Structure 1
Amino acid sequence: MVNMNSSGNSEDNLLNYSVNTGYTMNKTGSDLASVGGYASYDSQWGSWSASSSFDTDKSRQYSLSTDGGFVLHSGGLTFSNDSFSSSDTIVLVKAPGAKGARINSSGSSVDRWGYGVTSSLSPYRENTISLDIEDMDGDVELKSTSTIAVPRDGAILFANFETDQGRSAIINMSRSDNKTLPFAAEVYEGDAPIGNMGQDGQAFVRGINDAGELIVRWYEEGRPQSCRAAYQFPAQPATLPGSQTLVLSNVICRISNRN
């Protein structure tokens, strides 16, 4: 008898698979070969698994199974790949725009409607409810990525994570007097603060329009200073590699007497 096996998983551990083959030599000459496989996948709709096997004597077997749960709430119907009952302690997470963010490093994630649910909580203990944004799809900023709760047994918690879904951009600016814009200077569009200056004249802003005017404000020797920069993004703007953050360069911020 000869057997060979191979198994593996995806980088995010959501997909697992295995393949096995066998060959048996009989004295009667009726050798038997077999092959089988198994795969499982944790999706936001539940956990799915499938297996199949067959051999040369025409024996075949197939199986398909699924496991998971859902919560009906005021915002809709939210599925989970966790299996839970009405007596389990669970948390319903709301994080608008944070599709793909994983909850408590489990297989459960925030769906396209901004909700997610998991049962990975312990009753009567301090639990950290956190969001892992590494696999998050959208261009969104989370005001916080974790919160603390001490639930009762069988409780359904609600964790609301505030987000900012405004479009983000990095703008490379220089002053009209050739001086460097101060680090941490505030960037405004109209009366609304939308970001800050970083190093080397790079401003990180969120909620920016296609075109408009930015105002950079700071203090120099105790006196308020400001400059104004007109901007316009092209029809197909550049973005940071691997992200949706826009990039705009060569923007001149002209020193203003108006603060």
Structure 2
Amino acid sequence: MYGAMKVAIGGPLKLGFRPWVEGLENVPAEGPAILASNHLSFSDSFFLPAVLDRKVTFIAKAEYFTSPGVKGKLTAAFFKGVGQLPVDRSGGRGAGEAAIKSGIEVLERGELFGIYPEGTRSPDGRLYRGKPGGLARVALATGAPVLPVAMIDTEKIQPPGKVMPKLMRPGIRIGEPLDFTRYQGMEQDRFVLRALTDEVMYEIMKLSGQEYVDIYATAAKRQITEAAKAAKAAEKAEAAEKAEDGQKERTGS
């Protein structure tokens, strides 16, 4: 099913958008490896597999696989076909453990596992702090090499609010593999997890050219949402004040 779906989706993606790629020679022809990528767009999980000869498995929200109706079944078939694994991410720590377990299983089969260390899409195109729990623990548990990956301009293809994608050439840079076997057996050391994650994020930053922000993307999204709410409230208050002033002028009070 994966092969058929790759042809059905990957072919048109490559033909229509003509993504350019650097560093394909860094992806091993066989054996396990972790592709740790920045995350700019929903389409990242499609463009990266489209340019690789090997199957790469990402984690996807369980809702994509369990939605009811014909549309839900088609969506589930699509995500299964492109190599996505369903993980229920609503359960906090338990969800994280499930994602780690799934990643380890993929690598133990000698396959490629894709992960976004930021944990969510960048809200503004900048690169955010990597979460140490997933990437680092999977890497240390398996000894698999980590390949830093930079997706470039994918966020410009279909910005929020746009229905039709813009035909343009996104880019993909794949860095040289990073070996963290020196840290094996230290999965419970939070300083090691942090150091490993930061090293990978630094390599992604060099590949992508993004501005790095040392906070989590989830926190940045909250800040942006709160700022937007504050701006809207200020606008509303200003409009109400102008209306009140206008009323006073009309009544002469």
- The two structures have a TM-score, normalised by structure 1, of 0.22
Q: Which has the higher helix share?
A: 2
Higher RCO, 1 or 2 (CA under 8 Å, sep at least 6)?
Answer: 2
Q: Which has the higher strand share?
A: 1
Larger Rg: 1
